Amino acid sequence: MVKTVLKLPSARIALAMLAFILFLTLFGPLLAPYDPLENTALNLAPPSAAHWLGTDYLGRDVLSRILAGAPLSVASTGLVAAIALVVGAIPGILSVYLTSVFEWISLRVVDTFIALPFLVFAVAMTALLGNGITQAMIAVGLLVSPLFYRVARSATLSVARSQYVEAAILAGATTGWIVRRHVWSKVLPPIAISLATTLGVGLVVISSLQFLGIGVQPPTPTWGGILASDLGYLQQQPYAPVFPTALILITVLAFNLLADAIRDAAGETGRALIGSRAAKASKARRLAAAAQAAVSPVSTTAAPTPQEQP
C-alpha cells in the first residue's frame, strides 16, 4: 500500500510539506539566529534585515521563537496521536475477541470519553495533575482515543466474520496469531487514515491549549503561545499572527492530504491506479517485444549442396 500511496500526487505534496515541518522540528533551534528568550529594547520592531519577522512586545526575535517552538509543538502532537493510538486501537481490536465483560466495560469507557466536554476535561486534568505539557498531552490523547477504538473495532468485526478467520479458529489458532496474521493487515489502512487525521487535529488542539496558557507556560516558545502573545498588539503589528498560523495551517493541511491519499490508495482509487499502471506496463512490454521482433533480421541458413567429383 505504501507504493500505491507514493504514486498519488496528493501524497507526494503532503510528504514534501511534512518534510519541511520535520526539518524545522529537528533543526529549528539550531537555525534560530537569536536567543528566543532574550529581551531587547527593540519592542514591536517591523521585519528588517536584522530581524526577518520583526520582534515581539518584549523585543524578542519572532523568527527565533517560531523556530525554537517547532520541536515542542510538533512533538506534542506526535505524542498525543501515539497515546490515542495505544489507548484506543488495541482495546478496540481486543474487544472483539476477549470476553463480553471486557467488551462492555471498554464500550462504556469510550462512551464516557465521548460525552465529556473536551476543553473542560483538559482544564480539569491539568488542574488535577498540574499545569504541564505532559498532563495536557495525556488529556488530549485520552479524549481522541475513542476515534481509534471505534475504527479498530469496526474493522476487526468485519474481518472476524470472514470465513478464513472462522476456519483458523476451528483449526485451533490462538487469538494473538489470528490478530497478527489476519486482522492487523486489514485494520491497518483505516487506522493509518485515523492517525493522519488525528495528527492534524492534535496540532490544532495542542496549539489551542497553548494559546490559553494550558500545558506550556510563558516564556517557553510554542506556536500557540506565540499566536496568543501577538493578538494583544494587532494595532502595532497586524501581520504578526500570520507567521505561526501559516505553519499550523501547512501542517494540518499536509496531514489531511496524507489521510486522503491513504484512503484513496486503500479504496477503489488505489485498486484502479494499480490496475491502470499494470495495464500500461503490460502494453509497454508488448510494444517493446513487437518492436524488437520487427527490427531483428530473420536469418535463414540453407545447407550447402555437395558437388559430386568426376
Over the chain, what is the mean pLDDT?
84
Contact 152, 93 (CB under 8 A): yes
Task: Give domain 23-36+72-277's CATH number out of 3.40.190.290, 3.30.1330.180, 1.10.10.10, 1.10.3720.10.
Answer: 1.10.3720.10
Cell for 274?
494499480
Residue 19: the pLDDT is 96
**Which residue do the cell numbers 502494453 mark?**
283
* Amino acid at position 68, single letter: A
Q: Which residue has the cell 533480421?
A: 297
Q: How many residues would you count in the chain?
A: 310
Cell numbers describing residue 190: 483505516
- The candidate with the shortest Cα–Cα distance to 151, out of 83, 197, 119, is 197
Residue 102, SS3 per DSSP: helix
Whether 168 has a pLDDT exceeding 70, the answer reads yes
Asked whether 227 and 244 are in contact (CB, 8 A), the reply is yes
3-state SS string for 139-203: HHHHHHHHHHHHHHHHHHHHHHCCHHHHHHHHCCCCHHHHHHHHHHHHHHHHHHHHHHHHHHHHH
Give the single-character DSSP code of 307.
P
302 has pLDDT over 50: no
Which of these, 207, 101, 97, 81, lies nearest to 147 by C-alpha position? 81
Answer yes or no: is pLDDT of 307 > 60: no
Judged against a pLDDT cut of 70, whether residue 296 lies above it is answered with: no
HEC profile of 231-256: HHHCCCCCCCCHHHHHHHHHHHHHHH
**Residue 297 DSSP label:** -
Q: How confident is the model at residue 86 (pLDDT cuts 50, 70, 90)?
A: very high
Q: Which pLDDT band, with edges at 50, 70 and 90, does 310 fall under?
A: very low
Omega of the bond leading into 310 within 30 degrees of 0 (cis): no
7-27 pLDDT tens trace: 888 899 999 999 999 999 999
CA distance 144 to 87: 9
Percent of the chain with pLDDT over 70: 89
251-282 pLDDT, tens digit each: 999 999 999 999 888 765 555 655 565 566 66
Specify the 3-state DSSP secondary structure of 61: strand
Average pLDDT over residues 152-175: 83
CB 28 within 8 A of CB 64: no
pTM for the model stands at 0.81
- Per-residue pLDDT averaged across 128-144, rounded? 83
pLDDT class for 299, splitting at 50, 70, 90? very low
Cβ atoms 46, 175 nearer than 8 A:
no
* Lowest-confidence pick of 67-76, 166-175, 185-194: 166-175
pLDDT over 80 at 182, yes or no:
no
Mean local confidence (pLDDT), 29-58: 90
Kindly report the number of other CB atoms within 10 A of residue 208's CB atom.
18
Q: Which of 107, 104, 115, 102 is nearest to 143 (CA)?
A: 115
Mean pLDDT across 181-188: 81
